[in-house]
Structure 1
Amino acid sequence: MSPTMEGKTTTYLANLLQVCIDNKAILAGKLLHAKILRSGLSVDTFLSNRLVEFYSKCSHIGAARRVFNKMPQKNIYSWHAMLDCYCKASKLEDAHELFVEMPERNTVTWNTLISALVRSEFEQKALDVYYAMNQEGFVPSRFTLASVLSACGALVNVECGRECHGVAIKIGLDKNMYVGNALLGMYAKCRCIGDAIRAFEDLLEPNEVSFTAMMGALAETDQVEGAFRMFRLMHGTGICVDSVSLSSVLGVCARGGTREFGVTNQTDGFSCNLHGQQIHGLTVKLGFERDLHLCNSLLDMYAKNGDMVSAEMIFANLPEASVVSWNVMIGGYGQKYQTEKAIEYMQRMQYYGFEPDEITYINMLAACVRSGNIETGRQIFDRMACPSSSSWNAVLSGYSQSGNHIEAIKLFREMQFRSFQPDRTTLAIILSSCAGLGLLECGKQVHAASLKVVFHADIYVASGLIGMYSKCNKTEMAKCVFDGMPELDVVCWNSMIVGLSLNSLDKEAFTLFNQMLGKGMFPTQFSYATVLSCCSKLSSLSQGRQVHALIAKDGFINDVFVGSALIDMYCKCGDVDGAKLFFDMMPCKNSVTWNEMIHGYAQNGRGDEAVCLYEEMIGSGEKPDGVTFVAVLTACSHSGLVDTGIRMFNSMQLEHGVEPLLDHYTCIIDSLGRAGRFNEAEALIDKMPCKDDPILWEVLLSSCRVHGNVSLARRAAEELFRLDPQNSAPYVLLANIYSSSGRWDEARAVREMMIDKQVFKDRGYSWVENKNGMQAFVVDDNLKVVDDEFEKENDATSYFNG
């Protein structure tokens, strides 16, 4: 065959191979391969490269490698074709081996390997290859930077991303659309919203990818209105709005509806539902109402905003339902605590021939957990052939949240027996159950399991460990975990502060809060609520006021939970008027806020004002709960408003549907006892559902002493000797009653009983706050200071004043 003829044949065969590549025509391609072999053209490097590309496109990796191995002369395109073949098939070890063997490399070689590593989620390895590329002197292209920036975003490695940004500026690629969008995406994933906005503004002509990334970034940081403004800008500038961008903005609507911001959540949900309806109208106007992916996005938006009526309408008019559609409906009803509807949809799904997937089961489990129907959730879980970690965690969380910690621990053990590896969520849930039961040994075993799976340094798990050890009264071990963490977030700091406060180490908790501020950590609502509780227990009004100032400075003054904690602090420190002043200024109140203020009046003997505030609460439409009635009944008791208290007690169940509990009965018994109405008190005790409570009898015994009712005092004391034999109070009170009545022999007998049973009276303490801080005094034969160093040089004071 002449060279000219051979050249024409080669070109002809190459063109035919290209057609096979484009159509993935494996049989025709193999026939062409046979023709090439018979014609003796297999030595042609160009044709062999096409054959490698053809087999790669048809996913015949072995055949591609055999062609590559038999090539007598390989050029850089041959190596690239084989490298690309391995990368597209995600055979990264083979790709790396081939990469090492390559006689020469160029920027395309490096890009191929880096992008393959990023696609396969080996982002750190991709960065390592990128650094090696730089060391060998290769200048990155726009494709290199785009892949590397994607890796930085996935790893939340903003420092590396900034370095790449600098490289892009240096080589003049920062204005490139491809690189610019990658920069925007990287900053968005790293939550550097200011940098993301600047990257967006630097784009010469932002496209739909730019706007979509910017919308996602704003929504991710809960700037939902900003995300909508971005969409309006996109629409207004004439950029094509396709089904993808509409799905993205619907995702913003869905995200806004599921945020949890206390009392503002309902408003946000309504606003996002309204925006979603507008996008729905635009979807119909642009003719996308038959797009299944977009319809599922609409379903998801309505479901997450709690508008299941609209979701039902969308679902009923779907061109075709998918498993995703059914899952969204199940998840939506689960979010609304309607387990029966969720189960109904799952049954209908199966009836129409759709097989439930992992998401279906997780949504069903979540529905059962939210509604407290753990038994049904467990039945669904037990039917799963191979539950995932998320499914295990959903059931474990249900047991833990409902207080059934024993079942949670049993299920965790079953998980281990079935060789399922716990993740960070599993460990945190089971640590919470160990803490709830005070099971120190079990908690230690979970700690050991976390060491085994290398989760001990995880912030989420560490917070659980700190909580578990604290609730088991092992603050030293909790502090050991805390101090051993390489990096701490605000949740860990909060857990340690709460742990100290739980163990009555409020001074130490306050000091740790000060250290947290010194480290530059920003306190959360939970941080402030906890440290205010410490101020309450320390009766330290000055420190509480300083924390109040810091709360105002940090913008948490309108938070309803922080506000409730502030009211509690002022009331317990005796400044009820200060508490009421703040209460009246609060823009939003919940039942906790009202309860704290009513209880504050009760604690400070201002019963009439407590009753007035209770009536104001009812008038405002706020529903009272059991705690409300404890507060107002206590106020009535302390202020002698016996008949008012009885009237409110009788109204609990009849008017408000609140079942009276032991605490409510105790308040009424205390009120009747203080007023000397012992016949009514005894009659009520005889009708009570539960009488074996020491506090009830101690309250009655105290009233008997005031009114000199010896016979009832003896009955109350005998009940207390039975229920709480080591408590010194009933012995002392009964002895004093006998002494006051001149019954010295009986008083002596009670004191001898104390000695025989080795019961000792606790000494009383008083606290006095002065310019040096809080000082504690003990009442003994002589008045003496027991802790004159308390808060003398409190770091917090210097921090606040500094």
Structure 2
Amino acid sequence: MLKGYAKNSSLGEALFFFYRMMCDGVRPVVGDYACLLQLCGENLDLKRGREIHGQIITNGFKSNLFAITAVMNLYAKCREIDDAYKMFKRMPQKDLRALQLVFQMQQAGQKPDSVTLVSILPAVADMKPLRIGRSIHGYAFRSGFESPVNVTNALLDMHFKYGHTRTARLVFEGMSSKSVVSRNTMIDGCAQNDVDEGEVPTRVTMMGALLACANLGDLERGRFVHKLPDKLKLDSNVSVMNSLISMYSKCKRVDIAASIFDNLKEKTNATRNAMILRYAQNGCVKEALNLFCIMQSQGIKLDCFTLVGVITALADFSVNRHAKWIHGLAIRTCMDKNVFVSTALVDMYARCGAIKTARKLFDMMQERHVITWNAMLDGYGTHGLGKEALDLFNEMPKEAVKPNDITFFAMVDLLGGAGQLDCTWNFIQDMPIKPGISVLGAMLGACKIHKNVELGEKAADKLFELDPNEGGYHVLLANIYASNSTWDKVAKLRKEVHTFYSRSTNHPQSKRIYAFLETLGDEIKAAGYVPHTNSIHDVEEDVKEQLLGSHSERLAIAFELWHTSPGMTLHIRKNLRVCVDCHDATKYISLVRYPHFKNGICSCGDYW
């Protein structure tokens, strides 16, 4: 009867029937509590869920695995992650018993959800039952649970622990949104998996690790991976060297990328093209053109990728004369019909302000890729031509072109920026693919600009489902609440987790954080702090200080000091051991900012 109420009635009616049971002297069993907790979780009713948790304890079920799992699922669904983790730690057995529990849930007619999968996948990864692991991955795929980033991260970790590097890479490449955890898991898995198995990392493993470092912008890990080619005699492999050039360029160290390129004994066209493109993407237009001129002077044959790099560089100049010159070269070399060259030309003309020329080229193209449509849509959006952008978007189905995340991001950014928030939200709801983080992030940003709390909350809820630990979106939502003077919700959100990694700039308040960090640095230097720069090599002294000063814990401390009220406790957790410099800096920060710390001495006795 209770299960029937839970499935077919409201939470209130189910609880009323439950209390009638107890009044009649019927002692509840574990399954009754689990049933009600699941209903509380679905309704996000944390208050009633805590009441049931209390009854579980008073009735002697606090050590029961089935009960603990149900409570953990409740807290996870209500986004009380710390409480959920506490319950997980209290589990008497987390591996085989956890799997048995899932089987019991299925037999009882309860369908495992994404929270259940995230709970059991670490156990499956540690036990390494291949058949069960594959079965769970298949279940996640069939049930549509591969989209939440926390589930995919757990699957990624499981396959790496199985030694299935190729499968793990396929999972990573198929992720619609990638969090910091995703990229770190990919880097560590690629760099360590083959070594753990006693084998030499392959060229493919190296490239996968470097790709993850590049996408994450993680220079420190990238440097670690860079040490391996020399040891493994892969320093002459063109693909690995190109991956290194790409990694350093995406980490904003195009100077190191250029040094690698200059020291290469044999340079291929692919390497030269990669260097031109990386110069262009980092705003080094002159360097890109110089390398292009050297290729021409040496009689090196140009290809379409060479031209794409040069066109990308010239797009930054936004000078029509330059645009026409490179367009003419593309025509003379018979490469203007190549879809990638044509797309780059469309993008260049749009960025040069010649939007009509860009559209004329677009219409003349015999082959158009989705990136071509995105370039034209982005051009219209940049020039504020909303009607033209919508008309072009509506032509895509007629041309049998399937929009991707970037297409929808451009449309949402355009509509949201124009203040048509209801229209934008309906557009997102009607999208043929599930909106990713970039699309929902654009919606949340538009809600902040136009101070729309209702739609901002809806966008934020979906963002938190995809990546609950990304602090930036919590800050955006808090700003929306603050702009509407909803201070109680601001206070609640500020209890959420904010995530930082070294030299990260993706936090919405990164400019203020770095400015505050600079002020803080001056204060602690005046108090006697001296940076430990001997751990960094091959860069100038001032650069060493900048690298140390932007470590993740330093960013987290600066953010907390800047945005919290005086007297509040700062809780900062790090996934790696704190470096010597950050440890000393933290002591000096406590000395200058919190005088009640006795002489700035750390309680760890300088061990950590």
How high is the sequence identity, in percent, across the aligned residues?
Answer: 16
The aligned runs of 1:354-369 (5 Å cut-off) are 356-369=236-249
Match of 1:526 among 406, 424, 433: 406
| Cα pair distance change 1:489/1:438, threshold 3 Å | same
Contact 1:556–1:562 (8 Å) recurs in 2: no
Match of 1:616 among 487, 493, 496: 493
Contact 1:652–1:659 (8 Å) recurs in 2: no
Give the TM-score taking structure 2 as reference length.
Answer: 0.50
Pair 1:509 & 2:389 matched: yes
What residue number does 1:306 align with? Answer: 189
The aligned runs of 1:146-161 (5 Å cut-off) are none
- 1:496-549 Cα deviation digits (max 9, x unpaired): 111011112222222222222444432222112211222134333453244133
1 CA distance for matches of 2:184 and 2:505? 26
Structure number with greater CO (CA < 8 Å, separation at least 6) is 2
What residue number does 2:433 align with? Answer: 555
Pair 1:478 & 2:478 matched: no
| Cα pair distance change 1:309/1:520, threshold 3 Å | closer
| SS of residue paired to 1:657 | helix
Contact 2:207–2:239 (8 Å) recurs in 1: no
- Matched letter for residue 193 of structure 2: S
What residue number does 2:171 align with? Answer: 256
2 CA distance for matches of 1:413 and 1:611? 61
- Matched letter for residue 466 of structure 2: C
| Cα pair distance change 1:550/1:441, threshold 3 Å | same
1 CA distance for matches of 2:514 and 2:299? 56
Unaligned stretches of 5+ residues in structure 2: 1-136, 142-162, 214-218, 521-552, 563-608
The aligned runs of 1:422-501 (5 Å cut-off) are 422-501=302-381
What residue number does 1:588 align with? Answer: 466
What residue number does 1:160 align with? Answer: none
2 CA distance for matches of 1:526 and 1:484? 23
Contact 1:396–1:429 (8 Å) recurs in 2: yes
What residue number does 2:133 align with? Answer: none
What residue number does 1:419 align with? Answer: 299
2 CA distance for matches of 1:550 and 1:571? 22
| Cα pair distance change 1:383/1:569, threshold 3 Å | closer
1 CA distance for matches of 2:380 and 2:288? 26
Contact 1:478–1:496 (8 Å) recurs in 2: yes
What residue number does 2:539 align with? Answer: none
Contact 1:580–1:597 (8 Å) recurs in 2: yes
Contact 1:501–1:509 (8 Å) recurs in 2: yes
Contact 2:191–2:225 (8 Å) recurs in 1: no
The aligned runs of 1:160-199 (5 Å cut-off) are none
Deviation of residue 223 (structure 1)? 9.9
| SS of residue paired to 1:461 | helix
2 CA distance for matches of 1:537 and 1:565? 9
- Matched letter for residue 547 of structure 1: F
Deviation of residue 466 (structure 1)? 1.4
What residue number does 2:41 align with? Answer: none
2 CA distance for matches of 1:406 and 1:343? 27
Contact 2:471–2:498 (8 Å) recurs in 1: no
| SS of residue paired to 2:189 | coil
What residue number does 2:35 align with? Answer: none
What residue number does 1:657 align with? Answer: 555
| Cα pair distance change 1:381/1:574, threshold 3 Å | closer
| Cα pair distance change 1:347/1:489, threshold 3 Å | closer
What residue number does 2:263 align with? Answer: 383
Pair 1:398 & 2:271 matched: no
| Cα pair distance change 1:417/1:609, threshold 3 Å | farther
Deviation of residue 405 (structure 1)? 2.6
- 1:118-153 Cα deviation digits (max 9, x unpaired): xxxxxxxxxxxxxxxxxxxxxxxxxxxxxxxxxxxx
For these two proteins, the number of residue pairs brought into alignment is 360
- 1:388-445 Cα deviation digits (max 9, x unpaired): 1221122223322323233222222222222223333332232222222324333322
Deviation of residue 472 (structure 1)? 0.8
2 CA distance for matches of 1:455 and 1:503? 28
| Cα pair distance change 1:537/1:385, threshold 3 Å | same
2 CA distance for matches of 1:628 and 1:513? 30
| Cα pair distance change 1:308/1:224, threshold 3 Å | farther
Deviation of residue 569 (structure 1)? 3.7
Contact 1:438–1:471 (8 Å) recurs in 2: yes
- Matched letter for residue 262 of structure 1: S
Contact 1:399–1:407 (8 Å) recurs in 2: yes
2 CA distance for matches of 1:610 and 1:417? 65
Contact 1:365–1:381 (8 Å) recurs in 2: yes
Contact 2:478–2:489 (8 Å) recurs in 1: no
2 CA distance for matches of 1:397 and 1:467? 15
Give the TM-score taking structure 1 as reference length.
Answer: 0.39
Contact 1:435–1:468 (8 Å) recurs in 2: yes
What residue number does 1:372 align with? Answer: 252
Greater C-alpha Rg: 1
Contact 2:315–2:351 (8 Å) recurs in 1: yes
- 1:742-786 Cα deviation digits (max 9, x unpaired): xxxxxxxxxxxxxxxxxxxxxxxxxxxxxxxxxxxxxxxxxxxxx
| Cα pair distance change 1:417/1:268, threshold 3 Å | closer
- Matched letter for residue 348 of structure 2: M
| Cα pair distance change 1:384/1:267, threshold 3 Å | closer
1 CA distance for matches of 2:205 and 2:507? 38
- 1:9-52 Cα deviation digits (max 9, x unpaired): xxxxxxxxxxxxxxxxxxxxxxxxxxxxxxxxxxxxxxxxxxxx
CA RMSD of aligned residues (A): 4.3
Deviation of residue 477 (structure 1)? 1.0
- 1:245-283 Cα deviation digits (max 9, x unpaired): xxx97644444345553236855996xx8xxxxxxxxxx
Pair 1:568 & 2:445 matched: yes
2 CA distance for matches of 1:407 and 1:224? 51
| SS of residue paired to 1:306 | helix
| Cα pair distance change 1:346/1:526, threshold 3 Å | closer
| Cα pair distance change 1:380/1:454, threshold 3 Å | same
- 1:572-631 Cα deviation digits (max 9, x unpaired): 5554322223323441244553454345456xx41x337954862562234496863389
- Matched letter for residue 263 of structure 1: K
Deviation of residue 355 (structure 1)? 7.9
1 CA distance for matches of 2:384 and 2:312? 20
- 1:85-135 Cα deviation digits (max 9, x unpaired): xxxxxxxxxxxxxxxxxxxxxxxxxxxxxxxxxxxxxxxxxxxxxxxxxxx
| SS of residue paired to 2:178 | helix
The aligned runs of 1:312-323 (5 Å cut-off) are 312-314=195-197, 317=198
